[in-house]
């Protein structure tokens, strides 16, 4: 149970004892100024307004009934009815000592407590189009989705990853026809497809300009969809090589997606006609100008005109809409999802809203299944326009990541000229990739952001290098200390059994922050906002730096008891930094 839960339970009981209705929200929040306490309970004012009574008088009654013996050192009233709570340092130290011996650093696991059931959460993220190599536009979906997945798993939920790759559709006829010609001229598929961007460009030029090629491409689409063995074989070659490109990116990004997580558009192909038949049979869909459509009256404009949601084209072809409806049914039915989360850019928000409305009307999404489309903003260049090459082309994600590693290498070599080649390669990879990921993840998910190399690779401010440096700085203390840490400096070790005592204000500030991790992760999970974890880790690292300056650890004259306590506190900080960064998919190192 975290601090908020403990205080909520105590204050709720005091509210009932003071005559307030059971279930009144105590509205516990972290105080933003130390002179107002560590936590505040603001629920009395809302309750007083409903009861039409004086809030301060009501708060006085609640405080009179409030028993926080051993938990709070001081409780005070402020303003019209705020209840300020100053937590007792000894109680905080006791909580922190429990966390120090916990493999999950104080974050409780779902399913352990009654009423805190494990959920099955299906998360749809990354979803590159296999007709092209992954580009910078795929970064946000991939890393935001992966951070949320890792947070869910850390909390104890059952997560099913779904990589909804674009591996079907009309463009594949064009690509199959072009690949067929390449193979006919004795080229090997792997060689022909070694540069997917160039291959796609060549096929598109032929489709637009070469007489008869477009007709061949369209014919190959029909053959593919009809199960033609040769077209299916060529398509599979294309898919296998394309997936291999994506897997290289995932490995470099330290993203947890595997080949077994792929559930491409093609996987739903056999179900699409059934989806349309059921929509027609239930009169949710109707025929209009030869197509089969759903008029979404729930989204009608002021003139009563309803948006048209096409589920089958007049020529018999299916659309993304049909595939997404089939995916809803598969995920809620076959995968038994309690919650479905989808990460795409903000331009698709309307589409997924329409998908949800139709899927719920059709029963593909039962009421008890959550459906959460999580849109995100775009990565922008310094000019405020979508991030592209100087010539205006799309930047390949692989090239961006390679450049990050090269830039990180130059920076580290400049700071540490004596570093070995092996260490330089390892650290540059972790710093470069971490910098790109943190710069993205630390931004509000729904906002656009400016991509800037200098800012993201800085060792100052809210950056991955700053956090990685804070972690390695703690490791350097362990290596210098005459303690078990000298033999084992890994921060996930729990061998340090020294008791943490809180004496200085910097130690109390760290204790409060460390005990707030569960609250942060819960919001990350519910709102799909990894930036809150980024902010938390930066604040924790900043508090550690202040502690390091104000509270000597290995200095001569420091008692063994204080030294052991502060080393143990450093241990919890290191564990939390490492675990938090791991949830973000960012690696740490003992030395930088």
Distance CA 200, CA 174 (A): 9
Domain boundaries, the chain: 3-87, 397-456, 464-583
CB atoms inside a 10 Å sphere around CB 142: 26
Higher pLDDT, 581 or 492: 581
pLDDT at 495: 46
Give yes or no for a contact between 272 and 317, defined as CB atoms under 8 angstroms apart.
Answer: no
Name the least confident of 163-167, 390-394, 580-584. 390-394
Closest to 84 measured CA to CA, from 15, 7, 25: 7
The region, left, alpha or beta by phi > 0 then psi within -120 to 50, assigned to residue 307 is beta
Tokens of 219: 């014919």
pLDDT at 556: 87
Region 83-105: mean pLDDT is 94
Q: At what angle do helices 464-480 and 421-441 cross, to 10 degrees?
A: 130
Higher pLDDT, 197 or 262: 262
Share of the chain above pLDDT 90, in %: 70
| DSSP strand pairing (449-450 vs 379-380) | parallel
pLDDT tens figures, 482-524: 644 444 444 444 345 689 999 999 999 999 999 999 999 999 9
Q: Does domain 3-87 have CATH number 3.40.50.2000?
A: no
Name the least confident of 196-210, 383-397, 519-533. 383-397
Handedness of CA 538, 543, 548, 553 (dihedral sign): negative
Written out in words, the top-level CATH class of the domain with range 464-583 is: mainly alpha
**Strands (DSSP E) found in 227-297:** 286-288, 291-295
pLDDT at 494: 39
Distance CA 506, CA 34 (A): 12
Using alpha carbons, list the distances in angstroms from residue 257 to 140, 224, 262, 327, 382.
14, 28, 8, 19, 31
Share of the chain above pLDDT 70, in %: 96
């Amino acid at each position: 149970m975290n601090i908020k839960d403990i205080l909520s339970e105590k204050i709720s009981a005091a509210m009932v004892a003071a005559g307030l209705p059971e279930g009144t929200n105590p509205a516990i929040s972290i105080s933003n100024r130390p002179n107002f306490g560590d936590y505040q309970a603001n629920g009395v004012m809302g309750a007083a307004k409903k009861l039409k009574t004086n809030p301060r008088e009501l708060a006085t009654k609640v405080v009179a009934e409030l028993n926080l013996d051993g938990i709070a050192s001081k409780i005070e009233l402020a303003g019209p009815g705020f209840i300020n709570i100053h937590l007792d340092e000894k109680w905080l130290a006791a909580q922190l000592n429990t966390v120090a011996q916990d493999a999950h650093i104080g974050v409780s696991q779902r399913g352990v407590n009654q009423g805190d059931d494990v959920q099955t959460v299906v998360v749809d993220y990354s979803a590159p189009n296999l007709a092209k190599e992954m580009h910078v536009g795929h970064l946000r979906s991939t890393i935001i989705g992966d951070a949320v997945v890792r947070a869910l798993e850390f909390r104890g939920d059952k997560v099913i990853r779904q990589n909804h790759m674009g591996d079907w559709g009309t463009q594949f006829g064009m690509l199959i026809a072009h690949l067929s010609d390449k193979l006919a001229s004795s080229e090997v598929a792997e060689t022909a497809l070694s540069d997917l961007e160039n291959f796609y460009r060549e096929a598109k030029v032929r489709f637009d300009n070469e007489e008869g090629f477009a007709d061949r491409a369209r014919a190959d689409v029909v053959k593919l969809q009809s199960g033609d063995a040769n077209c299916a074989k060529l398509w599979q070659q294309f898919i296998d090589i394309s997936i291999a490109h994506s897997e290289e990116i995932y490995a470099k990004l330290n993203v947890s997606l595997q080949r077994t997580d792929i559930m491409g558009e093609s996987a739903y192909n056999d179900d699409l006609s059934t989806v349309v038949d059921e929509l027609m049979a239930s009169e949710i869909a109707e025929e209009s100008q030869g197509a089969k459509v759903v008029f979404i009256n729930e989204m009608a404009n002021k003139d009563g005109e309803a948006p048209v949601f096409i589920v089958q084209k007049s020529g018999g072809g299916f659309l993304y809409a049909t595939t997404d409806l089939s995916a809803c049914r598969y995920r809620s039915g076959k995968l038994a999802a309690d919650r479905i989360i989808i990460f795409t850019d903000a331009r698709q928000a309307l589409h997924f809203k329409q998908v949800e409305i139709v899927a719920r009307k059709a029963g593909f999404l039962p009421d008890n299944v959550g459906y959460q489309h999580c849109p995100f903003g775009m990565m922008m260049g310094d000019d405020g326009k979508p991030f592209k090459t100087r010539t205006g082309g799309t930047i390949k994600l692989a090239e961006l990541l390679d450049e990050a590693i090269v830039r990180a290498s130059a920076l580290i070599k400049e700071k540490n000229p004596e570093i070995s080649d092996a260490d330089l390669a390892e650290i540059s990879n972790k710093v470069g990739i971490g910098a790109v990921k943190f710069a993205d993840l630390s931004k509000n998910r729904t906002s656009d952001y400016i991509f800037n190399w200098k800012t993201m690779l800085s060792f100052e401010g809210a950056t991955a290098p700053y956090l990685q440096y804070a972690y390695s700085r703690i490791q350097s203390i362990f290596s210098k200390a005459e303690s078990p840490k000298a033999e084992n400096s890994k921060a996930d070790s729990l061998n340090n059994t020294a008791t943490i005592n809180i004496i200085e204000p910097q130690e109390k500030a760290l204790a409060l922050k460390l005990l707030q991790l569960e609250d942060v992760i819960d919001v990350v999970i519910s709102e799909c906002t990894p930036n809150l974890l980024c902010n938390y880790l930066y604040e924790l690292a900043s508090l550690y730096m202040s502690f390091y300056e104000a509270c000597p650890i290995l200095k001569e004259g420091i008692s063994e008891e204080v030294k052991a306590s502060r080393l143990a506190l450093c241990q919890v900080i290191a564990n939390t930094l490492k675990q938090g960064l791991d949830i973000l998919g960012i690696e740490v190192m003992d030395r930088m």
